[in-house]
């Protein structure tokens, strides 16, 4: 989940602002600009969904932790990406610890629930590149 | 002094003759090495070469000597590997270590982010791709140059050596907790694979995009051996068929052919059998290894001030795709998805 969209957009600027050495123009620069374009496209998706996905993920992890007897609140008044990420990191660490305990205990039902949550987390965070035909 | 002048001076000293470097141009070649194409004029004779120099920041920390020895191990031995020309470990010549190899012209590499890159030649390319991988697996590493440097693991320890290494990379480089990949690592430790059938040279990054084809259905060069090592040949097979490299076609591995067909070709060429349990393990492992590479990429991107967009794409888009691949595979392996 790193880097953030803000970091990528700043990076795109940094990647373009310095003039390349003479030997790096041509194919290399074309490819580099193409990747910068892809990153900008992905950033547009992340800007649109980033906060909503983090709020959902934090609430989903919090609910599962409560069910596992290790409650950790997901609420925050600060809906900036950095604040949501800081909370997300705490919840993810707690979830890792709970998952380890669940595996050690052999709690198949809760293990399955956690793995299902992982699938949903991965699904919701997916970024999509447009179809680019091979040459 | 320009890079071309430095290179001319170096090759002149190496070959004991005046060398003129011409048309030096950086080309896209991943983020683990700076890659340049150039010609040399020596006594009026012109030859095409490739320079691979260590970057300032990298997606993966690899040993350029091992990569060079891998080329030495397979060049002229039935695997289309470029000719190794010179290896320089000192930082005095071009500021960072580098090596030079022969250039193979007239080929193109597919971007993993395109669809149907091989079109009508997919089956023919797949046949060669998995046959060549089988040939690499079949080769006895004893006596090959790479064995002078690469560690020879025990048959039963290949998996733990690789898993320990890549788990450590994630532990060191992760900027944010990653529950999905850690669940996979724990599962891999709880369910080890059978011992390797043999020790082979493992290319380490054998996949679509890391070879050149001539556009007419022929593979002309296997490239990017920077993660080469000795180990279980199933490791390369698992990486080659990872869904990340499938060109968005779930029915074809590497965008080339059906999985069963690919495995049969590999078995025929390697003389080895594909053990389902072993391949399941190495497939999940490779998704973990991928996630480790993307984790390092994200770390390097942030640490280096965001100047390399390839590191961003790797540490972001591909990382999320591998999270999805791992999460789905974990569910499948538990037998309820």
Residue B73, domain CATH:
3.30.200.20
A75 Cβ under 8 Å from any chain B Cβ? no
For residue A133, being part of any structural domain is answered with: no
Cα(B55)–Cα(B97) distance, integer angstroms: 9
**Residue of chain A nearest B23, judged by CA positions:** A23
Q: Least CB-CB distance to B316: which of A31, A42, A85?
A: A42
More confident call, B336 vs B183: B183
The dihedral built from the CA positions of residue B51, B77, B290 and B155, taken in this order, carries a sign that is: negative
Residue A17 near chain B (CB below 8 Å): no
Which residue range is the domain that position B52 belongs to? 3-102
Q: How far apart are CA B109 and CA B255, in angstroms?
A: 13
- What is the average per-residue pLDDT within B159-170? 98
CA A117 to chain centre: 15
Report cis status (omega within 30 of 0) of the bond before B72.
no
- Give a yes or no: residue B62 inside a domain: yes
Question: Is residue A90 situated within a structural domain?
Answer: yes
Count CB-CB contacts under 10 A for residue B55.
18
Give me the pLDDT at residue B305, please: 87
Radius of gyration (Cα) for chain A, nearest Å? 20
How many structural domains comprise chain B?
1
For residue A60, tell me if it sits in a domain.
Answer: yes
Among A residues 44-63, those touching chain B with beta carbons less than 8 Å apart: none
Tell me the C-alpha to C-alpha distance, in Å, between residue B181 and each of A92, B133, B337: 12, 27, 18
Answer whether residue B61 shows pLDDT above 70.
no
Lowest-pLDDT choice from A62-71, B25-34, B47-56, B255-264: B25-34
Q: How far apart are CA B165 and CA B326, in angstroms?
A: 18
Give the pLDDT confidence of B119-139 residue by residue, as tens digits. 999 999 999 999 999 999 999
| Within a domain: B75 | yes
pLDDT at B256 over 70: yes
More confident: B58 or B321: B321
CB atoms near residue A106 (< 10 Å) = 7
The answer to whether residue A100 is domain-embedded is yes
- What percent of chain B shows pLDDT beyond 90? 87
- For residue A43, pLDDT over 60 is answered with yes
Phi-psi label, residue B212: left if phi above 0, alpha if psi -120 to 50, beta otherwise: beta
A89–B177 CB contact, under 8 Å? yes
Q: Is residue B225 part of a domain?
A: no
- ipTM of this complex prediction, to 2 decimal places: 0.95
B294 with B318: CB under 8 angstroms?
A: yes
A114 with B183: Cβ contact below 8 A: yes
CB contact under 8 A, A132 and B114: yes
Question: How many structural domains does chain A have?
Answer: 1
So what's the pLDDT on residue B57? 55
Burial of A48 by CB count in 10 Å (0-12 exposed, 13-18 middle, 19+ buried)?
Answer: exposed
Residue B253 CB contacts under 8 Å (≥ 6 apart), including other chains: B126, B240, B241, B245, B246, B259, B262
- Of the pLDDT bands very low, low, confident and very high (cuts 50, 70, 90), residue A122 is very high
Q: Best of B7, B174, B178, B306 to disrupt the A interface by mutation (most A CBs within 10 Å)? A: B306
Query: Distance, in angstroms, between A2 CA and closest chain B CA?
Result: 6
Among B4, B110, B336, beta carbon nearest to A112: B336
A39: pLDDT strictly greater than 90: yes
A75 falls in which pLDDT band (50, 70, 90)?
A: confident
Please give the helix or strand (H or E) that residue B221 lies within, else none. strand B219-222
Task: List CB contacts of B202: < 8 A, sequence separation 6 or more.
Answer: B228, B229, B230, B231, B232, B233, B235, B236
pLDDT per residue as tens digits for the range A79-95: 999 999 999 999 999 99
Q: Give Cα separations from B212 to B118, B129, B188 (angstroms).
A: 11, 11, 33
**Residue B24 within a domain:** yes
The answer as to whether A132 is a domain residue is no
Does pTM surpass 0.80? yes
Lowest mean per-residue pLDDT among B85-94, B162-171, B204-213, B270-279? B85-94
Nearest chain B residue to A86, by CA: B176
- In a domain, residue B31? The reply is yes
Average pLDDT, chain B: 94
Mean pLDDT (whole number) for A111-119: 97
* pLDDT, position B161: 98
Cβ-based contacts of B327 with chain A (< 8 Å): 115, 118-119, 121-122
Domain hosting residue A32, numbered range: 5-125
The answer to whether position B87 is within a domain reads: yes
């Amino acid at each position: 989940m790193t880097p953030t969209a803000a970091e990528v957009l700043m990076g795109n600027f940094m990647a373009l602002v310095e003039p390349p050495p003479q030997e790096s123009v041509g194919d290399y620069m074309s490819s580099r600009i193409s990747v910068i374009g892809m990153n900008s496209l992905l950033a547009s998706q992340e800007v649109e969904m980033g906060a909503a996905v983090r709020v959902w993920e934090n609430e989903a992890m919090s609910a599962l932790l409560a069910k596992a007897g290790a409650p950790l609140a997901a609420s925050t008044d600060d809906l900036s990406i950095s604040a949501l990420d800081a909370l997300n990191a705490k919840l993810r660490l707690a979830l890792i610890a709970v998952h380890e305990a669940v595996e050690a205990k052999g709690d198949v039902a809760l293990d399955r629930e956690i793995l299902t949550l992982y699938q949903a987390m991965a699904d919701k965070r997916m970024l999509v590149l447009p179809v680019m035909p091979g040459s | 002094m320009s890079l071309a002048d430095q290179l001319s001076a170096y090759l002149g000293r190496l070959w004991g003759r005046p060398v003129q470097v011409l048309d030096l141009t950086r080309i896209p070649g991943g983020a683990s090495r700076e890659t340049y194409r150039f010609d040399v004029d020596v006594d009026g004779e012109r030859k095409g070469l490739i320079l691979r120099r260590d970057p300032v920041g990298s997606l993966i920390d690899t040993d350029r000597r091992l990569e060079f020895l891998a080329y030495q191990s397979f060049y002229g031995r039935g695997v289309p590997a470029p000719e190794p020309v010179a290896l320089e470990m000192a930082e005095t010549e071009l500021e960072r270590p580098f090596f030079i190899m022969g250039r193979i012209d007239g080929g193109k590499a597919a971007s993993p982010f395109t669809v149907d890159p091989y079109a009508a030649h997919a089956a023919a390319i797949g046949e060669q791709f998995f046959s060549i991988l089988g040939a690499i697996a079949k080769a006895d590493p004893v006596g090959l140059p790479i064995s002078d440097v690469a560690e020879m693991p025990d048959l039963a320890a290949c998996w733990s050596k690789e898993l320990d290494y890549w788990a450590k990379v994630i532990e060191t480089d992760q900027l944010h907790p990653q529950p999905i990949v850690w669940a996979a690592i724990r599962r891999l430790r709880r369910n080890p694979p059978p011992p390797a059938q043999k020790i082979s040279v493992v290319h380490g990054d054998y996949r679509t995009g890391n070879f050149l084809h001539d556009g007419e259905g022929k593979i002309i060069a296997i490239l990017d051996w920077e993660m080469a090592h000795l180990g279980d040949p199933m490791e390369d097979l698992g990486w080659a068929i990872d869904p990340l490299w499938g060109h968005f076609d779930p029915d074809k591995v590497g965008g080339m052919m059906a999985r069963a067909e690919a495995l049969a070709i590999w078995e025929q060429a390697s003389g080895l059998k594909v053990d389902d349990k072993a391949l399941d393990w190495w497939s999940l492992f490779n998704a973990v290894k991928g996630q480790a590479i993307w984790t390092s990429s994200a770390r390097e991107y942030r640490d280096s001030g965001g100047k390399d967009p390839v590191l961003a794409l790797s540490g972001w888009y591909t990382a999320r795709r591998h999270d999805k691949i791992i999460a789905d595979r974990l569910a499948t392996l538990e037998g309820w998805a």
